[in-house]
Amino acid sequence: MRKTYIIVVVLALAAIVGNHLISPSSGRAVSPEDFAGACAPCGAPCPSKK
Amino acid sequence: MSTAALSAPDTHAGVSIDRLFLALALIATAILVALVLLDGQPASAALILGGFGLGIAFLKAEFSYTASWRRFLTRGEAGGLLGGLIVIAITALAVVPVAALKQNFGGAIAPLGPSLLIGAFTFGIGMQLANGCGSGTLYTAGGGSGRMLIALLFFVVGSVFGSLSLPSALSLGGIDPILASDYLGPWGGLAATLASIALAASVIVAVAKRRGASFMPSRNFVIGGIAIGLLCVAVFIAGGHPWSVTFGYTVWGAKIASVLGFDFSHAAFWQWPGPKHALAESVLSDTSSLTDFGMLFGAMAEAAAAKPFARTAWPPAKSLLAAGIGGLLMGWGARLGFGCNIGAFVGGVASGSLHGWVWFAAALPGCLIGIRLRPLFGLSRD
């Protein structure tokens, strides 16, 4: 199990760093709730706005 | 050099330190913190470190929503549930008034409707099969449980399926969020929220007394509950919203699926502004992912500082199957139910949003089903 963990951690870290380096990053970290019209933590719209 | 040689336990005063995994956890955390600081984002660094602290606190206190709920449902024991309410009450003291009074802060809100009920109920089944909820999966996987690593993998997969199902589920109907502070103001909303927590606690204690079970939280749960509550406040201040766990999983799954060739451009969920932004931007731009990464590595550091890391054998296949099915159900349920125990229940109730209590009421019967199913996978009902 230890070897599995080492592989998973190294791959995950490489994926995180790789994604960060190749993806845009426009300022502070945000949650989907920060966007206009969001009605839930995942950014779903409000029923009344449909 | 072999892994065994690298990880020879360093024993001091009866404590075995697993230097390899302690170093791995600390280096990984330091790299992530350095990356966000290089981007000039101290709040992101605070979220990673807040998650790191939560990983330590959860593992140290063995704070488990899943086991607490199971003990309440099977034996009537209320201590664990009350420990969870301590977390919510402390978090509410900051979230309700600050979200109502300060710009750039907001509570965890969600619509009320069939999607919430179906999602929370499904999540309840999954958390008992997997033996961990959103936060529990994170800290036990980080803490060296290979079984929960499987649960986490399927949680991620399930949450992507959930993202594809959510728009259809929302079309079943619902009403806009109901927030106490919208009706009663910031301080009236806080009073109503604390009163609802006190009422829930008194009902839980009454049930425990009627069943002749204990209702006092253990010392671990009281201290752990206070520490976790304070860390929830810190995460709220750093991120502007209550701590949430499962949106990060959805983003990770969608990013991996995109790399594998899946196209989300026609999926309604991924066209909403928040998810669309999260899928396009760096994973370190998502608040939920930042605390998740911190929590995984915090739990790993805490586990490795106490004993040799991940030395146990893999559990039986049936147990791994339960972890996988549980993870899938939790992932799907978390998207339809607007979060897990943390994002929907803790965050929702601590924000004074009615959906938090509705989520709790729908997840409990799901847990009952999950508990009945556990023996099929060789797991005890206790």
Backbone angles phi, psi at B62, to 5 degrees: 50, 50
Please state, in angstroms and rounded to a whole number, the distance separating the CA atoms of residues B122 and B339. Answer: 12
pLDDT band at B7 (very low <50, low <70, confident <90, very high): very low
Please state, in angstroms and rounded to a whole number, the distance separating the CA atoms of residues B130 and B120. Answer: 15
pLDDT at residue A27 is higher than 50:
yes
The one-letter amino acid code at B5 reads A
Mark B236-251 as b/e (b = at least 16 C-beta within 10 Å). Answer: bbbbbbbbbbbbbbbb
Cβ contacts of A17 on chain B, cutoff 8 Å: 31, 35
> Which candidate from A36, A41, A46 shows the least CB-CB separation from B273?
A36
Cβ <8 Å between A39 and B275: no
Label residue B192 exposed, middle or buried (CB < 10 Å: 0-12, 13-18, 19+): middle
pLDDT confidence of residue B14: 58
pLDDT at residue B139 is higher than 80:
yes
The residues, any chain, with a CB within 8 Å of residue B93's CB and separated by 6 or more, are: B190, B233
pLDDT in tens, B42-63: 999 999 999 999 999 999 998 8
Structure-block tokens of residue B11: 């024993």
How many residues appear in chain A? 50
Q: Which residue of A has its CA nearest to B315?
A: A1
pLDDT band at B3 (very low <50, low <70, confident <90, very high): very low
Cβ contacts of B272 on chain A, cutoff 8 Å: 32, 35, 37-38, 43-45
pLDDT band at B381 (very low <50, low <70, confident <90, very high): confident
| ipTM here | 0.96
Q: Which residue of A has its CA nearest to B291?
A: A29
H or E element, residue B157:
helix B146-170
Residue B286 DSSP SS3? strand
CB-based contact B181:B94 (threshold 8 Å): no
| Adjacent-strand bridge partners of B16 | B11
Among B87-101, B207-221, B331-345, the minimum mean pLDDT is found in B207-221
Cβ <8 Å between B311 and A8: no
| Adjacent-strand bridge partners of B286 | A30
Please state, in angstroms and rounded to a whole number, the distance separating the CA atoms of residues B48 and B56. Answer: 13
Look-up of token digits 């965890």: B108
The one-letter amino acid code at B285 reads S
Task: Give how far A32 is from chain B: nearest CA, Å.
Answer: 4
Q: Dihedral angle at the C-alpha atoms of B225, B146, B363, B58, nearest 10 degrees?
A: 10
CB atoms within 10 A of CB B175: 12
pLDDT in tens, B249-290: 999 999 999 999 999 999 999 999 999 999 999 999 999 999
Chains A, B: CB contacts within 8 A come to: 172
- E-strand ranges in chain B read 10-12, 15-17
Cβ contacts of A23 on chain B, cutoff 8 Å: 280-283, 285
- Rg of chain A over Cα atoms, rounded to whole angstroms, equals 17
Task: Give how far B76 is from chain A: nearest CA, Å.
Answer: 32
Residue B308 DSSP SS3? coil
Please state, in angstroms and rounded to a whole number, the distance separating the CA atoms of residues B162 and B343. Answer: 16
Please state, in angstroms and rounded to a whole number, the distance separating the CA atoms of residues B355 and B175. Answer: 11
Label residue B327 exposed, middle or buried (CB < 10 Å: 0-12, 13-18, 19+): buried
pLDDT in tens, B319-366: 999 999 999 999 999 999 999 999 999 999 999 999 999 999 999 999
Pairing of strands B15-17, B10-12: antiparallel
CB-based contact B310:B141 (threshold 8 Å): no
Q: For the residues B161-185, what does the mean pLDDT come to?
A: 96
